Structure 1
Amino acid sequence: MKSRDGAAMVQEHRALMAEFEKLVSVARGENSPTPREQWQADKSEAEAMLAAISGLPDEDDRRDILGEELIKASFRSSLVNEVLSPDSKGPKHTLEDARRLYLSERIGGDRPKTVRLERICARITDALGPLNDFPLVDLKREHARSLRDAMLSATKKNGEPLSVASVKRELNMVTAMVGLGIREFDLSDRLSNPFEKLDMPKATQVASARDDRDPLPADVIKAMRTRLETSCKSPDLARIWHLLVGTGCRLAEVSGLLVEDVVLEHEVPHLIIRPNAVRSLKTRSSIRKVPIVSKALEAAREAVSEVKRRGDGPALFPTYAKPRGADGASQALMKHLRAVTSNPRHTNHSLRHSMKDWLREAGVPSLEQNLILGHTLGGEGDTAYGGELAKLRVTQKALQKVVELGLMA
């Protein structure tokens, strides 16, 4: 250590300990660098060592002497090679490099998405071999089809096959991961993403249709409301249901709301759907403001009032404000829903399909439907309405029309 006291010593000590822990982790085989990462680390270390040599102006002399000393000291061969052969291009970027990049750039600390990525990468390993041994530039369309077919034949823990919808979702993440690697590693001139526009086999079309969800009929929604009011011990669960019915939001979007995301003192009372500490969002277009009317507005007021009365913190529904909290809310609601309908195509998510149908029947334009449901706008939303207040006004009118026509059960 160069520092001897004060804040500088503490800061230097922390940096040294972090580097030490990193070395120990690598020595133990934990988080070992990929071949490309090791090459880049060797390159940086070699340049730093060469820069520290003084008295020898000729670079070749410095490299020769340093290389000899490293060999005598039994340094790793990859570092010696980088000192003696500085023009080497290094190992190719692999699928593992793409995975690590996607993890840091797109997922961050999102635990559920991290678990999902690891599960998908395990499937890739089973189908194509270790990610660290598979260069990105070697990916072909046949590899994409092989992975697709392997996923379609895979089973869940309960022995049931993966649904076609699940396979599509997992392949979407693979497509995004590979695409990010191609772009960020400057491989676009050598490789096109083989996972893009990968269709499902015709044999899966029937299964895919079977996996589709039906909108919930009015009698089922009413029966569910009655059951939650009479047989559910959790008032928050009933409030979540009312918000789902009245907004068409995804379950995680509602269960993960913060109190500050519920704007009641406004010309247009609304929910702000945005990423927060409780949950992320599915897509960029999911970030939006959704008006709340009728029973949804009542439920929002009750929820805010109850949280403030109890002093429970920033989450609107504290019970579900945690990792996998939306899964817990879904399971709890499904137990009640199965008591009023046995149709396997009726799920909590069916309410989004219901809202889509109600908006269509009310004659609401597609653009306004997309603003409410958080579907892709293609840049139209901003140019059509100009500002957030205008969007809120038109979407509020759309939802009020659904209520006035008696479509919202």
Structure 2
Amino acid sequence: MTLILRGTTYYLKRRVPSRYQGVETRPWLVISLKTDSRLEAEAKAAAVWDQTCQGWEARLKGQADDALVRFEAARDLAQAHGFRFAKAPQVARQPLDEILDRVDAARGPGGNLLKADAVAVLGLTDPPAITVSEALNIFWVLTEERTHGKDTNQLRIWRNQRKRAVTNFIDIAGDIPLASITRDHMLDFRQWWWERIRDEGMTANSANKDISALVNILRTVNEMKRLRVDLPVGKLAFSEGEQNTRLPFSNDWIRTVLLKPGVLDGLNDQARDILLALINTGCRPAEIAGLRPHHILLGHKVPHISIEPDGRTLKTVYSRRKIPLLGVSLNAMRRHPEGFPRYQVSGSLSAVVNKFLRENDLMETPAHSMYGLRHSFEDRMLAAGVDERIRADLMGHKLQRERYGVGAPLETSAAIISQVALSYDAPDAHASSY
């Protein structure tokens, strides 16, 4: 990098790298650093050269076949010239001095306008017509950080929810460009969901999740790709009213029906013991299914499991916890000290267990599901007068006040759970099938 002094002004002189010879006709570049100070010129030279290279990179990018890449290149080239990219009508509304500065920036060595530079600084290009399905493909790339740490099953669920939302919208409105989405399209989508709620028994919660997923995809692509499309996506959610909560199984039902010897023999052994592990831990089914061998500490003074973000993500930051094992849950985990590989990355656990319970009249009501065992555990702790902090820690819930300290030790938690843990009414020998 060479500095030369012409009169009282320093210039940067440097050979154009071969990489850029297709977008820069001059073999050498001489750029004014606009200073008569050698020290200031030395300080400015590297930044000026970097900005020049950014402009060349943008010109190279502008030769791509992909319309989105070319649009991004125009935006980058405008920035390299020191201007914020704006469409031509917006440029025309700027003060005359800025418009003239933009025109000057687009001139080449001979004073003629350079096409790529003029397109960039004068806003002579429109955002590409990205369709809704194309937006989904772009969304996957833009949001890699959101799926970091998710296991295969969590990733499948996350992606399928968004695929489903896009498919539903396309079925209603077509695979149209983002810039063509109107308020009518969004209201038609909302109406379609209302008819499913009204006629098919779908919930407002399901509709809102679908609408929210679609809106998030559209907004993310629009914002991160700087398309500046005015998306008409506000105020679409349904009022959810009273939420349908998962009903807890009664203690009598668990004892006399679910823990009746042999009643669960028709389930495969891993699904059966996950169900039994839920009874005295209050875990989410996926938390038990996702346990790795080093999360199952049966040889500890207090046998327990450790719910960790290891090979997967947890539902919330509060979900990370240690839970003592007692009663039927301890027996179940002793039979599976290596965990439950069949369901670690499979999303079929709930479907398998719930289908079995329904087909064998083991659901307390038609509204029950396996997840209700988690709520039963919490209800038993509440009835036993267990402190709110300990309940929240064991359930992996957010505490509705400031959380101090590290919480109760395992010995204390085990003593508390022993008050509410359920076991077989019959001796272990009688319950040997479990």
Give the TM-score normalised by structure 2: 0.59
Report which of the two has the higher share of helix: 1
| Alpha carbons 1:239, 1:299 under 8 Å: kept | yes
Q: Within 5 Å, give how 1:150-299 maps onto structure 2.
A: 150-154=192-196, 160-171=200-211, 173=213, 194=234, 198-200=237-239, 209=244, 212-222=245-255, 223-226=257-260, 231-232=265-266, 234-277=268-311, 279-299=312-332
Letter in 1 for 2:343: Y
C-alpha displacement of 1:369: 2.1
Q: Could you say which residue in structure 2 is the equivalent of 1:64? A: 107
Give the SS at the match of 1:289.
strand
After superposing the two structures, state which structure 1 stretch, 116-125 or 87-96, moved more.
Answer: 87-96
Q: Could you say which residue in structure 2 is the equivalent of 1:133? A: 178
TM-aligned CA distance change 1:87 to 1:253, over 3 Å:
same
- Establish whether residue 387 from structure 1 lines up as the match of residue 406 from structure 2: yes
Q: Within 5 Å, give how 1:308-323 maps onto structure 2.
A: 316-322=339-345
C-alpha displacement of 1:295: 2.0
- Establish whether residue 340 from structure 1 lines up as the match of residue 358 from structure 2: no
TM-aligned CA distance change 1:144 to 1:62, over 3 Å:
closer
Q: Could you say which residue in structure 1 is the equivalent of 2:420? A: 402
Letter in 1 for 2:147: I
C-alpha displacement of 1:303: 0.7
| Alpha carbons 2:78, 2:121 under 8 Å: kept | no
C-alpha displacement of 1:106: 1.9
Letter in 2 for 1:401: Q
Give the SS at the match of 2:419.
helix
After superposing the two structures, state which structure 1 stretch, 219-228 or 251-260, moved more.
Answer: 219-228
Q: 1:123 aligns with which of 149, 168, 181?
A: 168
| Alpha carbons 1:256, 1:321 under 8 Å: kept | yes
| Alpha carbons 1:272, 1:289 under 8 Å: kept | yes
Q: Could you say which residue in structure 2 is the equivalent of 1:351? A: 373
TM-aligned CA distance change 1:292 to 1:348, over 3 Å:
same
Q: Which has the larger radius of gyration?
A: 2
| Alpha carbons 1:107, 1:114 under 8 Å: kept | no
Give the SS at the match of 2:247.
coil
- Establish whether residue 377 from structure 1 lines up as the match of residue 399 from structure 2: yes
TM-aligned CA distance change 1:90 to 1:230, over 3 Å:
closer
Counterparts of 1:228 and 1:171, CA distance in 2: 45
Letter in 2 for 1:200: S
TM-aligned CA distance change 1:367 to 1:63, over 3 Å:
same
| Alpha carbons 2:208, 2:238 under 8 Å: kept | no
Letter in 2 for 1:85: L
Give the SS at the match of 1:402.
coil
Q: 2:158 aligns with which of 113, 117, 133?
A: 113
Counterparts of 2:382 and 2:215, CA distance in 1: 32
TM-aligned CA distance change 1:47 to 1:199, over 3 Å:
closer
Give the SS at the match of 1:355.
helix
| Alpha carbons 2:71, 2:127 under 8 Å: kept | yes
Letter in 1 for 2:336: A
User: RMSD of the alignment, in Å?
Assistant: 5.0
Letter in 2 for 1:123: N
Counterparts of 1:91 and 1:321, CA distance in 2: 42
Q: Could you say which residue in structure 1 is the equivalent of 2:27? A: none
TM-aligned CA distance change 1:301 to 1:226, over 3 Å:
same
Letter in 2 for 1:290: I
| Alpha carbons 1:174, 1:195 under 8 Å: kept | no
Q: Could you say which residue in structure 1 is the equivalent of 2:34? A: none
Counterparts of 1:387 and 1:243, CA distance in 2: 25
C-alpha displacement of 1:285: 2.7
Counterparts of 1:131 and 1:393, CA distance in 2: 60
| Alpha carbons 1:229, 1:238 under 8 Å: kept | no
Give the SS at the match of 2:280.
helix
Counterparts of 2:123 and 2:292, CA distance in 1: 54
C-alpha displacement of 1:394: 4.7
C-alpha displacement of 1:125: 4.8
C-alpha displacement of 1:345: 0.9
Counterparts of 1:333 and 1:89, CA distance in 2: 53
Deviation string 1:200-227 (CA, Å, 9 cap, x unpaired) is: 266xx6xx65xx4321133443433446
Deviation string 1:100-132 (CA, Å, 9 cap, x unpaired) is: 587333235723201111212333455677685
Q: Could you say which residue in structure 2 is the equivalent of 1:41? A: 73
Q: Could you say which residue in structure 2 is the equivalent of 1:54? A: none
Letter in 1 for 2:292: L
Counterparts of 1:286 and 1:175, CA distance in 2: 28
Deviation string 1:28-64 (CA, Å, 9 cap, x unpaired) is: xxxx77x5x75333333677899xxxxxxx9966733
TM-aligned CA distance change 1:230 to 1:44, over 3 Å:
closer
TM-aligned CA distance change 1:169 to 1:232, over 3 Å:
same
Give the count of matched residue pairs: 333
Q: Could you say which residue in structure 2 is the equivalent of 1:301? A: 334
C-alpha displacement of 1:392: 4.2
Q: 2:122 aligns with which of 58, 61, 85?
A: 85
Counterparts of 1:394 and 1:178, CA distance in 2: 49
After superposing the two structures, state which structure 1 stretch, 345-354 or 366-375, moved more.
Answer: 366-375
| Alpha carbons 2:107, 2:114 under 8 Å: kept | no
Give the SS at the match of 2:335.
helix
Give the SS at the match of 2:273.
helix
C-alpha displacement of 1:256: 1.5
TM-aligned CA distance change 1:274 to 1:185, over 3 Å:
farther
